[in-house]
Amino acid sequence: MNLLTRYILRQNLYLLLLICGIGLGIFVFVELFDRMDEFLAAGVGAGTIAAYFIFRTPFILAQIFPAVFLVALMVQLGLMLRNRELLALEACAVSPGSVARSVLWYALALCLVQFSFSEVLGVSGHKGADRIWSEEVRNRQVVTRKLNDIWFREGDRIVHMGEVVPASRTGRKLTVYVLDAKDSGKVAEVLTAAEFRSSASGWTLTDATRTVPESFAVTREKSVDLDLRTDVAGFLIIDPKTKLDSLPFWQLGSEIRRLRDSGSNIERLQTAWHMKLAYAASVLVMALIALAVISVFGSLYVIIPVGLVTTFCYYGLFVLCASAGEKGLVPPVLAAWAANALFALVAGGRMAMGRSFHLG
C-alpha cells in the first residue's frame, strides 16, 4: 500500500465512522418515533426496546453504508480540492488516475467488507430484532404462527395449503392436484380437505372430497391418508411474508435450487440473490460517482448536493429494476445489475476523459 492510499484511507475512515454514527442515529430516531406507540401498547420495558435496536444496528448499517461512503468520500475529496491538495499532487506528477485508482482499490475492499458484514451480522441481527418484534411486541409466538397460501410440489402432486400452523403440523383448506402419470400437464384427480395433519408416516385429511375432472365423479370421505413426506414444520424456516433481505446469501441460493427442482417460480428469489451481490458492488459505484462529480464541480457546497441527488436517482432506479425483476418483467440478472452498470458506465466514462480534478 503506497503513501497516497494510506493517506486517503486514514482520512476517509475517520469521516466514514463519523457519518455512519450520524446516519445511524437519525435512522434509529425515526424508527423509534414511528414504533413508540406499539412499544408502549405492548408494555415492553426499556431493556427490550434497547435490545431491539441493538439487534437492528448491523442491518441498518449494512443498508446505509453505500450512501454513507459516498458522502464521506465526497466530503474528503471536496476538502482536498478546496485545500489545493489535489492540485499539489498533480504538480508533483501524481495524476488524477493515480488518485482514482487508490480510491477504487479502497472501495473494492469495502465492497467485500459490506457484503460480509451484511450477510453475517446484518442477517443474524435482523432475525433477532424480528423475533423481539414478533414475540414480545406483536406476541406472535412460533408455536402459534400461521402461514397462508402455501404451494409446493412433491412427485406428481401439487399441494396448496390455505392455512397451516407449521409448529403443530396442522392446517385447513387443503387442495391436492394429482397429475396424470402419462401426461404431466393433465390433472387426473383433485383432493380437497377441510383440515389436515402431517406426520413422518404421511398426511391425514379430514372431511375430504375426491374429484375426477375427466368424468366429473365426486366422492366424499371422512378421512384420507396420503403418502406425502413433506414436513410442514420446515416452512417455519422461510416465511413467505419475510423480507428477502433477511435471508442469508447462501440460504437463498439453496432455496432457489430446491424450488427450481420442484417447478416453482423462482424469479423473485433469483432477483433477490443477485441484488445482494449488486448492493455490495454499489460501494464501488459510489466511489466512481464521487470521483466523477469532483471532476466536474469545484465547490464543496455544490459537490455534496449534486452527489446526493445522483445517489437518490441511483437508488430509485435500483428499486425500480428490482421490482420489475421480482415481477418477471426483466431477467433477474439485468434487474439487479442495471443501475450499477448504467451509473458505472456514465461515471467511468467521465473519469476516462482524464480531466484534472482542480479544473472542476
pLDDT in tens, 233-251: 777 655 544 554 467 888 7
Q: If you ran DSSP here, which 8-state letter would residue 133 be given? A: I
pTM exceeds 0.95, yes or no? no
- What's residue 356's pLDDT? 61
Residue 227 has φ and ψ, to the nearest 5°, of -90, 40
Domain extents in the chain: 3-139+268-359, 146-238
pLDDT at position 298, please? Answer: 72
User: What tens digit of pLDDT does each residue of 282-335 get?
Assistant: 999 999 998 888 888 877 788 888 888 988 999 999 999 988 988 888 899 999
pLDDT at residue 23 greater than cutoff 70: yes
Which of 47-61, 240-254, 338-352 is least confident? Answer: 240-254
Contacts of 360 (CB under 8 A, 6+ apart): 81, 294, 295, 296, 297, 298
pLDDT over 90 at 269, yes or no: no
Amino acid at 238: I
Region 108-127 average pLDDT: 89
For the segment 147-186, what is each residue's pLDDT rounded down to a tens digit?
Answer: 888 888 888 889 999 999 888 889 999 999 998 877 667 8
SS3 state at 162: strand
Given a contact cutoff of 8 angstroms between Cβ atoms, the answer to whether 205 and 214 are in contact is: no
Model confidence over 58-113: pLDDT tens digits?
989 998 999 999 999 999 888 888 877 777 777 776 676 778 888 899 999 999 99
Percent of the chain at pLDDT above 90? 33
pLDDT of residue 112: 94
Diameter of the chain by CA atoms? 90
Which ranges of 151-196 does DSSP label H, i.e. alpha helix?
A: none
